[in-house]
Structure 1
Amino acid sequence: MLVSEIREILDADILTGEDMLDLNIDYGYGCDLMSDVLAFVRNDIILLSGLVHPQVIRTAEMLDINAIAFVRGKRPSSELIRMAEMKNIILLTTKHTLFTACGLLYKNGLEGEEIAHDEDSL
């Protein structure tokens, strides 16, 4: 799914990466615990989170996550936005809750990251 489609589905604002809206995202992962993201994410995902903290950007950088959507209308600080810009990470923000945002993306065809784990074991 293209980032431009994700933006439309979530009625999200783009905070960084407006020039990367044609990037394809294979899976989604919703989580506020970055330790879980580090433990379980292995694929090209968009990370949906309510955690607006530098650790989210650092985690994304470590795992080559190219897109993050902040939920519940949360907006990162200008420092966080600069960090994401330096790392070429797309940031979006949506007013939807984490549950609703994940559900909307799933309903529109974006699979959960655990589907990729199942496919790896085949």
Structure 2
Amino acid sequence: MTARDVKDILGARVLVGEDHLEVEVRSACGSDMMSDVLAFSKDHSVLLTGLCNPQVVRTAEMLDIVCLVFVRGKKPDDAMLEMARERNLIVMATGHRMFSACGMLYSAGLHGGAI
């Protein structure tokens, strides 16, 4: 699956990284707790979260997460978007709740796997 597929499935808006949408996404993680995301630690994944702070971008960079999707209509501020742009991260936003967004991606074949 590509990041463009994630965008289409979730009806998401791309906030940063429009030119990187063909990147492969192999798995997904949904969490507002970055400690849980750190335990997930899979590369080429998408992170779904409602947490809007710079730690999300830093965590994504550490784990080779290629795409951030902010759920529940959350929108990161300009400083976070600039951090993501500098790190070549794709950032999207969707109005779906996290449970629904994760379920939609899972149904489309994107799995998280066991820790």
Q: CA deviation at 1:77?
A: 0.2
State yes or no: 1:6 paired with 2:2: no
Distance in 2 (CA, whole Å) between partners of 1:113 and 1:87 is 26
Q: CA deviation at 1:113?
A: 3.7
| Unaligned 5+ runs, structure 2 | none
Q: CA deviation at 1:64?
A: 1.2
Matched to 2:69, the amino acid is A
Task: Select the structure of larger CA radius of gyration.
Answer: 1
Alignment-derived partner of residue 32 in structure 2: 32
Alignment-derived partner of residue 48 in structure 1: 48
Matched to 2:41, the amino acid is V
Q: CA deviation at 1:66?
A: 1.1
Matched to 2:22, the amino acid is D
Q: Is the 8 A contact 1:45 1:113 kept in 2?
A: no
Alignment-derived partner of residue 77 in structure 2: 77
Distance in 1 (CA, whole Å) between partners of 2:51 and 2:113 is 19
- The percentage of counterpart residues that share the same residue type is 47
Matched to 2:87, the amino acid is K
**Structure 1 runs (4+) greater than 6 angstroms displaced:** none
> Bigger shift: 37-46 or 97-106?
37-46
TM-aligned CA distance change 1:112 to 1:26, over 3 Å: same
Q: Is the 8 A contact 1:57 1:83 kept in 2?
A: yes
Matched to 2:88, the amino acid is N
Q: Is the 8 A contact 2:73 2:93 kept in 1?
A: yes
Q: CA deviation at 1:41?
A: 1.9
Distance in 2 (CA, whole Å) between partners of 1:5 and 1:42 is 19
Q: CA deviation at 1:72?
A: 0.3
State yes or no: 1:96 paired with 2:90: no
State yes or no: 1:23 paired with 2:23: yes
Distance in 2 (CA, whole Å) between partners of 1:112 and 1:60 is 15
TM-aligned CA distance change 1:113 to 1:69, over 3 Å: farther
Matched to 1:103, the amino acid is G
Number of residue pairs the alignment of both structures matches:
115
